[in-house]
Amino acid sequence: MNAIEVQGIGKNYKNYELSDVTFEAPKGYITGLIGPNGAGKSTIIKMIMGIVTPDQGGIRVLGQDTGKEEAVYKQKIGYISDENIFYDWLSMEQMKKVVAPFYKDWDELAFQRYMDQFELPMRKKIKDCSKGMKMKYAIAIALAHNPSLLIMDEPTAGLDPVFRRELLELLSEYILDEQRTILFSTHVTTDLDRIADYVTFLNRGRLVFTDTKDEILERYVLIKGGKELLDNDVRQAFVGVRETSLGFEGLSADRSSAVSMFGNSVMYQQPTLEDIMYFTVKERKVRV
């Protein structure tokens, strides 16, 4: 079963187009939505939340079509954005009193527990909070009604390294019962190297791939070798290649073909998601 099903969606803007994007977020897992800034991640999340309407295609969230019975399925969603969605002039305590009545499953004890865990002062006005504090507060609000689907748009933005690690551990624990699902949108792919089960990659409004993280990392290979091995045919075999005066580093999307081409004359490494995104976005343009 899928918590989110995105089928062939598209959206046309004056200077931007999101085209024919299809992917799923399986129930009980963490799905990462990655891509550079401007790839279309936030647009898709706004579509899932019913804030933006796609020009084509459709989206189902928790078994419901977006645009229909939104009040029902949004009760089961926790939404976290790197944009401040709270009233700046209110304190955290006052803002909580505004938000809590919207959720029939609001758990005040859970909210207080998260506030204590995150060391957030209830009386502090939101306008006086740092970006990191605002993000922690958004996380506490989102988790306090025990959502079955957590949608996170750049959630680690502004967080210090210690809390960033704590958050990733918290999210991993949150889905242990296999009934909860997380969609985690970010351009900081190291977060997803740690916790993602599935990854969907967007670039320039197009879908590059969607698969399990393990399948993706197994399919791609990072290759390092001497510059004498490069010619135009070899360059075309790479997703992207970085050339220096001493040699090259390239990404191949076909591990077996790469081994057949280079044999033992190069070094092979498993890439990170960051490597894959970097070489895909830069394509064959990197020379230093």
Residues 122 and 43 in one domain: yes
Which tens digit of pLDDT belongs to each residue from 107-154?
999 999 999 999 999 999 999 998 888 989 999 999 999 999 999 998
State which of 212, 242, 275 marks the end of a domain.
212
Residues 191 and 227 in one domain: no
Q: Which residues pair with 211 in a beta bridge?
A: 199
Q: Which residue has the higher pLDDT, 182 or 167?
A: 182
Residues 251 and 274 in one domain: yes
Residues 134 and 269 in one domain: no
- Predicted pLDDT at 29: 96
Q: What is the mean pLDDT of residues 163-174?
A: 89
The pTM assigned to this predicted structure is 0.90
Beta 56-61 vs 30-34: how paired, if at all?
unpaired
Residues 128 and 249 in one domain: no
Residues 203 and 225 in one domain: no
With 0-12 / 13-18 / 19 or more C-beta atoms within 10 angstroms meaning exposed / middle / buried, residue 278 is middle
Residues 17 and 60 in one domain: yes
Residues 229 and 136 in one domain: no
Residues 31 and 53 in one domain: yes
Residues 45 and 181 in one domain: yes
Q: Does the pLDDT value for residue 251 go beyond 80?
A: yes
Residues 96 and 35 in one domain: yes
Q: What is the mean pLDDT of residues 56-69?
A: 87
- Predicted pLDDT at 198: 98
Write the Ramachandran bin of 132: left for phi over 0, alpha for psi from -120 to 50, otherwise beta.
Answer: alpha
- Predicted pLDDT at 288: 47
Domain housing 12: 2-212
Say how many C-beta atoms besides its own lie within 10 A of residue 36's C-beta.
15
Residue type at position 112: Q
Residues 231 and 196 in one domain: no
State which of 193, 212, 231 marks the end of a domain.
212
Instruction: Give the DSSP letter of residue 59.
Output: E
- How many structural domains does the chain have? 2
- Predicted pLDDT at 219: 92
CATH number at residue 97: 3.40.50.300
State which of 188, 212, 236 marks the end of a domain.
212
Q: Does the pLDDT value for residue 26 go beyond 90?
A: yes
